[in-house]
Amino acid sequence: MSGQRQLHLNAFLMSTGHHEASWRLPESDSRAGTDVAHFQRLAQTAERGKLDSIFFADSPVLHGDVTQRPYGSLEPTVLLVAIAAVTERIGLIATASTTYNEPFNLARRFASIDQISGGRAGWNVVTTAGDAAAKNFSRAGQPAHSERYDRAAEFLDVTRKLWDSWDDDAIVGDKAAGVWADNTRVHQANHHGRHFQVEGALDVPRSPQGHPVIVQAGSSENGKDFAARYAEAVFTAHQTLADAQHFYTDLKQRTAAAGRDPETIKILPGIVPVIASTLKEAQRLEQELDHLILPEHARNQLAGVLRVPAESLKLDAPLPDDLPSEDAIEGAKSRYTLIVNLSRRENLTVRQLIGRLGGGRGHRTFAGTPSQVADAIQEWFEAGAADGFNIMPPVLPSGLDIFVDQVVPILQDRGLFRREYQGRTLRDHFGLAQPATTRRLEPLPA
C-alpha cells in the first residue's frame, strides 16, 4: 500500500438511514434519532472498518411534517462527546451554523471536543438556508446568500484567531516555581471586523490538532470560493461522473488560486449504496424502500427546495417549465440546480424524481453487490472525481454493517484503503498537517 493513493471514507449517520422511508421497515427503530446507544454502536462499527470519520448533519429548525417521518434529533456536538467516550480512533465531525452562532462559542465547543476526543474533532461549517431557521433566532427572514457567506468568512477568521490564542507550549506546569502557564504565550484575539468584535483569548488551551478539521458542504459559487479558502474536506453531491470530475477539477484549481496546496482539501461525494449478495436482490431492496415513500409528503419537501407551491407539482407530470432560476434561490443553490438538471436530463415525472431523491436527497444512489459498489467507488476515485466518499447507508444499522464487513475488505484487498489506522487524530487520517501558531497575537494584559 505504500506510495499508492488511498481513499478517505466518512460515514454520514442519520437515525434509521438516509432513505426517506427507512423508518418504515420492520427492522428500524423509529426512536433511533434520540438513542445515544444506537449512534455509539454505529460509530464503533465505522471504527472497526477503519473509516476516517463519522459525520452528523444539523439544522436549527424542525423540518417537515412530523406525522410522516422521524425528524427529532440530538444536538450533534453533544452527541460527539458521548461517542468519543466509547471510541478511540474514528474522526468525529458535527455540523454547526455560522449564521446562528457566535465565533467564541463554537471555537470553544469544538476545541473542547478535540481535547475530549484526543484530537478527532471536525466542524462541518454551514451558513443555514431558509426563513424558518431565521425565525427561530428573532429574525424576520434569512440573510441573503452572499451575506451569509461574508459572515461565515469572518466567522472562520475569528475562530482561527481564537484557536491560535494559545501557543502549543503555553502550559509550563512548573510546580516548583508555581507557574502553570507562560502568560506571554497566550494571546488576545483582538478582532474588530464588520460582523464581530472579539477581544480576548479562548479559555480552552491549544487542542491536540491545533485546529479541528474544517469541513464544508456548499457547492454554489460562493460555497466553492469559501471551501477553497478554508475547507480541508468537502462533502458534495453529484449524479454523474462528468459532473463530479468538473467539480473536483474546479475546486482543486480554486484552492491553488487561494494560495493553498490542492492536496490539503479532500473532496468526498456522497454515495447511497444499496448492497446485497446479487444485483437482483439489491434492486429488489431499493424498490421496496421506494415503494414505502409517501408521495404527498415527498412532494411537499420537493416544493420547498424548488420554492414553488406544492400544488404546482403534478405527480405524473414533469417539473413545470417556469421554475425560478438559481439566481432567485437564496437557499441551497447547488442542490436546487442538481435536482432540476436531474429531472430535465432524464425527463422524469415528479413521482419518478421523488423516487430518485428518496434515497439520498440528490446524492448518487447505487444498488449492487459488494464488488459492484467497490467498483463504483474505485471508478470515480481513479477518474479524478473524488478523494474518497461520504458513505450514506440507506438503512441503519444494516447498511453500515454490510458496507464495513463486505465492501471495505474488497477495497483493502485492492490496495485502495487502509487496513489499520496510521495515526490517532482526524488530521492523521486525512493526511493533513497540524496548523502552526505562526501569527503573533497581542499577549494577555498583565
Residue-wise pLDDT tens digits, 359-378: 656 688 899 999 999 999 99
User: 168 vs 311, which has greater pLDDT?
Assistant: 168
pLDDT at 54 over 80: yes
Q: Which three cell numbers stand for residue 14?
A: 442519520
Q: What is the pLDDT of residue 61?
A: 86
The mean pLDDT of 14-37, rounded to a whole number, is 92
Question: Which of 200-204, 359-363, 439-443 is least confident?
Answer: 439-443
The mean pLDDT of 125-150, rounded to a whole number, is 91
Instruction: Report how far residue 191's alpha carbon sits from residue 185's, in angstroms, rounded to the nearest whole number.
Output: 18
Average pLDDT, the chain: 90
The mean pLDDT of 171-188, rounded to a whole number, is 95
pLDDT at 25 over 60: yes
Instruction: Report how far residue 135's alpha carbon sits from residue 130's, in angstroms, rounded to the nearest whole number.
Output: 9
Place of cell 421523488: 354
Q: What is the pLDDT of residue 342?
A: 76
The mean pLDDT of 204-232, rounded to a whole number, is 93
What is the DSSP secondary-structure string of 147-204? HHHHHHHHHHHHHHHHHTTB-TT-EEEETTTTEEE-GGGBEE--EE-SS-EE-S--SS
Q: What is the pLDDT of residue 446?
A: 53
pLDDT at 331 over 80: no
Question: Could you tell me the pLDDT band of residue 298, with boundaries at 50, 70 and 90?
Answer: confident
Contacts of 345-350 spanning 24+ positions with Cβ under 8 A:
347/318, 348/318, 349/315, 349/316, 349/317, 349/318, 350/299, 350/302, 350/313, 350/314, 350/315, 350/316, 350/317, 350/318, 350/319
Neighbour count for residue 279 (Cβ, 10 Å): 12
Instruction: Report how far residue 33's alpha carbon sits from residue 15's, in angstroms, rounded to the nearest whole number.
Output: 4
| Buried-state track 29-49, b at ≥16 Cβ within 10 A, e below 16 | eeebbeeeebbbbbbebbbeb
Q: What is the pLDDT of residue 303?
A: 79
Q: What is the pLDDT of residue 71?
A: 74
H or E, element range at 137: none
pLDDT at 156 over 70: yes
Question: Which of 97-111, 249-263, 431-445 is least confident?
Answer: 431-445
Domains of the chain: residue spans and CATH: 8-278+363-438 (3.20.20.30)
* Percent of the chain with pLDDT strictly greater than 70: 92
Distances (CA, A) of 274 to 11, 270, 353: 14, 13, 18
**Residue ranges in 234-369 assigned as alpha helix (H):** 241-257, 279-291, 295-306, 333-346, 350-358
Neighbour count for residue 182 (Cβ, 10 Å): 14
Q: What is the pLDDT of residue 411?
A: 98
β-strand partners of 368: 275
* Percent of the chain with pLDDT strictly greater than 90: 69
Taking CA 246 as the corner, what is the angle to CA 411 and CA 431, rounded to the nearest 5 degrees? Answer: 45
What is the pTM (predicted TM-score) of this model?
Answer: 0.89
